[in-house]
Amino acid sequence: MSQSVSQTYEPKRVVRGFAILVAVYLFVVFALPWSAAVKPQGRQVTGFFLATIAGSIVEPLPAAALVLIAITLAALTGTLSMEQALGGYADRTVWLVMTAFFLARALMNTGLARRIALTFVRWFGKSSLGVCYSLGLSDFVLAGMIPANGARAGGVIRPIAKSIAEIYGSTPGATANRLGSYLYTAVYQSICVSTAMFYTGQASNPLAARFAAGYGYSVTWASWFAAAIVPGALSLAVIPWVVMKLNPPELQKTPEAAAFARAEIEKMGPLSRGEKITGAVLALVCALWVSSSWTKIDITTVALLGGALLLMTGVLTWEDVKSERAAWDVFIWFGGLFRLGQALNEAGVTRAFADAVAKEFGGLGWAGLFGVALIIYYYAHYGFASITSHMVSMFPPFLAVLLAKGAPPGMVIYGFACFTNLSAGLTHFGTTPGPIFFADGYVTLKTWWKVGAVVSVVNIVIWTTAGFAWWKLIGVW
């Protein structure tokens, strides 16, 4: 027990970390100039919020613990009532994300997720580029159902990529460039794209929809997919080729990869009862998500229905639900952080920020301001280790600024929402799969960041040209 505690609780790090968070809070509350339009509690809410965001970077404690401390202090100081502080945990978006984790657990437990990925490799994995496309397509399919990119990438995609690299004797170190280094960098960049393509691509995407709803703009599973499919497909097609030029593998042909996938599928045997039920339930869930704008069935209700069906059929047990640590962890930090973000808006902080920025860039029209904001927003992710922290801290104020300037809501909402996910490819810590992939040691830090920087330019060009043109065609703006 003492060994475990020493590994997870480092007193010096905690003290230093909390000293930074206290300094952030005091600076925000007492040193920043404040508009008269901000309500009295706005300073304290902003202080707690920004200190929590800073905490997600310096990490004296896990993010969920920091959020729980923040909402507790907000209630203790009277900044929020206890009902207000805990209000985020009753929000349907929080329950949607948590329930989707349980659906993902069924995919993992039954082996259906792995079978899907292996099937793509079997079909297209006869070259190193084909293996990358296969794993990218696998993540694309799973992203429509699994909101945890870490679970998809770490639990399904990465083990297959590593196994294929090892078949060819490519291991970390001298032989990494034989195949593994290319697969790891190209597949990771593809994962960031598929994460941007779905409402359920990762945990905080539904937050963008909630922020948009506050301005009267509806974002559904189907509308997100419709907006992202064309620029996303182009990115998925182009990026593996671009990465091959930047970080070329020594091996171009990989016939053994397809044979490996075929052998693994044969070992799995025919579809099990659990796989069949999981496939049927998820097909139903996805169909109801896609048609939610017509059926008017709330997508959280659909997710809960899927979870209930999996429990009733025994594919999921209550022990599975209780032991899904990632889901409960997300529930704590997501619900609390979401509530603090709401409180900022209620106190007039977001509006005041929008007014200040609009005044600063008063000479620019909405198009010019949008272009500047998108670049700032994208590359700000160099300072974030979490897509959620990036989205919660920067999405609402930038949205308010652009809408105040008269920018088309759909273009702004989908632009920032998708760019948050794409920007995670900049670094090896930009989102959960980054540290998981990087830790295997196939890719040097220099190569990882070089690939991330070049791919960022490719993504920005694709999404601001073909993407914007597509959005115009389908009526997003």
| pLDDT one-digit tens code per residue, 44-55 | 998 998 898 788
DSSP 26-44: HIIIIIS---TTS-TTHHH
d(CA 471, CA 226): 9
Residues of 314-345 as b/e, b for ≥16 C-beta within 10 angstroms?
ebbeeebbeebebbebbbbbbbbbbbbbbbbb
| pLDDT one-digit tens code per residue, 390-419 | 888 788 888 988 998 889 999 999 999 999
Size of the chain in residues: 477
DSSP 198-248: -TTSSTTHHHHHHHHHTTT----HHHHHHHHHHHHHHHHHHHHHHHHHHS-
Averaged pLDDT, 415-435 = 90
The alpha carbons of the chain give a radius of gyration, in whole angstroms, of 22
Q: Please, is 253 exposed, middle or buried when counting C-beta atoms within 10 Å of its C-beta (0-12, 13-18, 19+)?
A: exposed
Averaged pLDDT, 7-34 = 85
Mean pLDDT comparison of 260-269, 274-283, 345-354, 449-458, highest-scoring range: 449-458
What pLDDT is recorded for position 288?
Answer: 86
| pLDDT one-digit tens code per residue, 361-376 | 767 789 998 998 899 8
d(CA 324, CA 326): 6
d(CA 339, CA 45): 10
The region of weakest confidence among 302-306, 430-434, 458-462 is 430-434
| pLDDT one-digit tens code per residue, 217-264 | 999 888 999 999 999 999 999 999 999 999 999 988 888 888 888 899
- Our CA angle for 245, 241, 455, nearest 5°, is 80
d(CA 80, CA 69): 13
181 closest CA partner among 135, 258, 243:
243
C-alpha distances in Å from residue 7, one per residue of 2, 17, 169, 326, 438: 9, 16, 34, 19, 21
Domain locations in the chain as residue ranges? 1-85, 92-157+187-242+258-325
Is residue 377 classed as helix, strand or coil in its secondary structure? helix
What pLDDT is recorded for position 117?
Answer: 81
d(CA 175, CA 163): 14
Is residue 73 classed as helix, strand or coil in its secondary structure? helix
Mean pLDDT comparison of 46-50, 105-109, 302-306, 411-415, highest-scoring range: 411-415
**Tokens 């989102």, located at residue:** 431
Structural contact between residues 65 and 336, judged by C-beta atoms closer than 8 angstroms: no
Mean pLDDT comparison of 34-43, 87-96, 227-236, 403-412, highest-scoring range: 227-236
What pLDDT is recorded for position 12?
Answer: 82
